[in-house]
Structure 1
Amino acid sequence: MKQPLSIFWFRRDLRLDDNVGFYNALKADRPVLPIFIFDSEILDKLPKTDARLSFIYDTLQNMRKQLQEDYGSSIAMYHGKPLDVFKQLTKDYDVSSVYTNHDYEPYATTRDQALGDFLEENDIAFHTFKDQVIFEKDEVVKKDGDPYLVYTPYMKIWKEHFKDYDLTIYYTNDYLKNLVQNSRLPNLSLSDIGFERSQQQVEDYEVTPTLIQEYEDKRNYPAKDATSKLGPHLRFGTVSIRKMMKKAIAEKNEIFWQELIWREFFMQILWHFPETPKDAFKAKYDRIEWRNNEDEFKLWCEGKTGYPLVDAAMRQLNETGFMHNRVRMLVGSFLCKHLLIDWRWGEAYFAEKLHDYEMSSNVGNWQWVAGSGVDATPYFRIFNPTTQIDKFDKDRKFIKTYVPEFETDAYPEKMVDHKEARERCLKVYKEAVS
């Protein structure tokens, strides 16, 4: 007779400690089988040398090794459509319950609903938990229940709620003995899932007291190594948001803290408005007649626009999988407003290249620069890509790092005149949204 067990499904929470769903599974009354599914619905759309896949894979192998060596267990690895995998798991094991943590993206909510329906039909309990945010869904809303569409009031109410919040850390070490005792659970190689090892690496994060204390003064200068590199680690859950919040609060740096709140603001916007990856939040902005010149888009992608700060930013992205936040705004504005190329093109390019790609923040920020999103910059605010250099890279250190031919005959001429592009943008936008 098969032994009844629970399954814990790792997803955007690739850590053993301070993992809410994993903690609750381990504390329940059945042995726990940990699994990870390389979801073919997601993987089939990615480049075969995607650095994020290498990062996920290596993280999981390290987790497997720790569980094998210390607890005689492991993590079972699968590849395919999650519902198909679970149908097979329910044949292979006597599954009494499934545990996992919430995911808020449109595909994930549809996937989880289908899985929940299947499990219910088979009398298997499905337990899901809040883990990757402090506040989710409609926990921070207006008095009438409507979501906040502007960041500042959302942030203020978020902080009010946080005063009464129990910032619990979910320590799992005492319960890992409740894992299924099998150190030879199914494994996969990168090639098994159709991928090759990337030449890029997801950088380690750094959240030291000094970095947090100096964050406000240094965060706007792309030549300074003054950002935390937390993005991918929050995205894939290799760090705990609760532990990061504790650090931010301990150092009393409001700006660093508020960056973490921005992330939750965009997450709740995506949850309330799951159509925004495709549709402008402000519907009239979908009337804009984008030029969508493919040759110009290619020059933007390659960092060959003739505007040095734009080009340095794009080359940083292409070479490293990272782009400094300050210049993300500039390159986004340049694409949408100087070139009149649909923000969705830029969003898709960032989705492919950024190691810290997070749909909610990416869509939110692209709609912000295009003027079409919540709390968006007015359409007539158009960054000057030349004066931005004197503000944020006056020594040209960042530019020279990524554009070695800068100030030589080999550097391309400007692909568009700033003044002419600005006037063209204002005309096209005004015709669409007035």
Structure 2
Amino acid sequence: MSNYQTGLDFAKEQDANDTLSGYRNLFHIPKDQHGNDTIYLCGNSLGLQPKATKNYINQELADWAHLGVEGHTQAANPWLGYHEFLTNNMAAVVGAKPIEVVVMNTLTANLHFMMVSFYQPTDSRYKIVIESDAFPSDKYAVESQLRHHGYNEKDGLILWKPREGEELLRYEDLEAILETHGHEIALIMIGGVNYYTGQFFDFKRITKMGHAHGCMVGFDCAHGAGNVPLNLHDSGADFAVWCTYKYLNSGPGSLGGCFVHERHAHNNKLNRFTGWWSHNKETRFKMRDDFDALPGAEGWQLSNPPILSMAAIKASLDIFQSVSMEQLRQKSIHLTGYFAFLLKQLGEDVIRIITPENPDERGCQLSIQVKNADKTLHKRLTQAGVISDWREPDVIRCAPTPLYNSYQDVFYMVERLKEIVNKPAN
């Protein structure tokens, strides 16, 4: 849509016509010092709490109090297989088959578990490709895997870099890396939506490129799950990992998720770390049987499910069950396009958006550079009731999240930013 308008009436009209506007009422909106709703544009860092989350957790607390250990089989939501309550809804969110998805552990732990299986270096093929400005924990994780296998991380790590004077990555540059080093590369591991620029990568294209050169391919979808349609199964990726506390609104530090493509579901020859929750459910409690891996992503679990964290995830996923990723994506494209339109009214000499202009190449996050600004600008924006996110050296990340953000949120955010830019700090 290109017929956006600048006035408040337009924002109010869009909210009135938004079929998803009612979802905002399902979330707690943080208040400012005056008791007014903040403009919360930080779902890319920590999603808001669904109002139902407390009841979901209280149910498990009550069953624990009343049933003790019997809650594993007699709770309203029996704990023994609690992770299975999350599987179908999570699979729908990330575009996977249920056999390909499991909720377990936390993000970087899951990345390591996946690399145990899908990073299998040899003397001639041991290098790993990541984007040059990957989230630091991804870089730390792959470097430590290289060291663990006896390789020098400086030699073993290949960075996919933007060109001089650019922030965004080009696929032809990744292809050039593969043409030159493909025979040496064991793994391509890319952040599906870059945390800094907001660039949303073409998973299928990258996977096809990697597989053509004999590489395993995985994605860190921390900034993608619940934000964009990931279509993990159709992408052909070997694996993916993600957290649930950003766009999936499960609470700080909550569990993550793993995807393992269906073609690996029954491959028991894949090296993996194992535990009793990845063992055949029929014989798990016989305790003395040899290990018998479950098929699919469940076969990468180690331990029994942490119920209280999973209850919070269930509360959020039950909301996602009632609205499709396609519906959320359509609103996101429109809402973020409106946001970009308003920001551009401030002038290119004031504002620069480094996130791709093409909506197919971004999620709901816009990464904004304000000319001659430092973190003081972000502090003033926070004081004005706008909750966003600062990333060094000079970027404000804002994510109008379609589940709970409104067009009026976006309008007022830009109005407050304009006022701050036009009124220098004392």
Fold match (TM-score > 0.5): no
**Bigger relative contact order, structure 1 or 2 (CA pairs below 8 A, ≥6 apart):** 2
TM-score w.r.t. structure 1 length?
0.30
Q: What TM-score comes out, normalization by structure 2 length?
A: 0.31
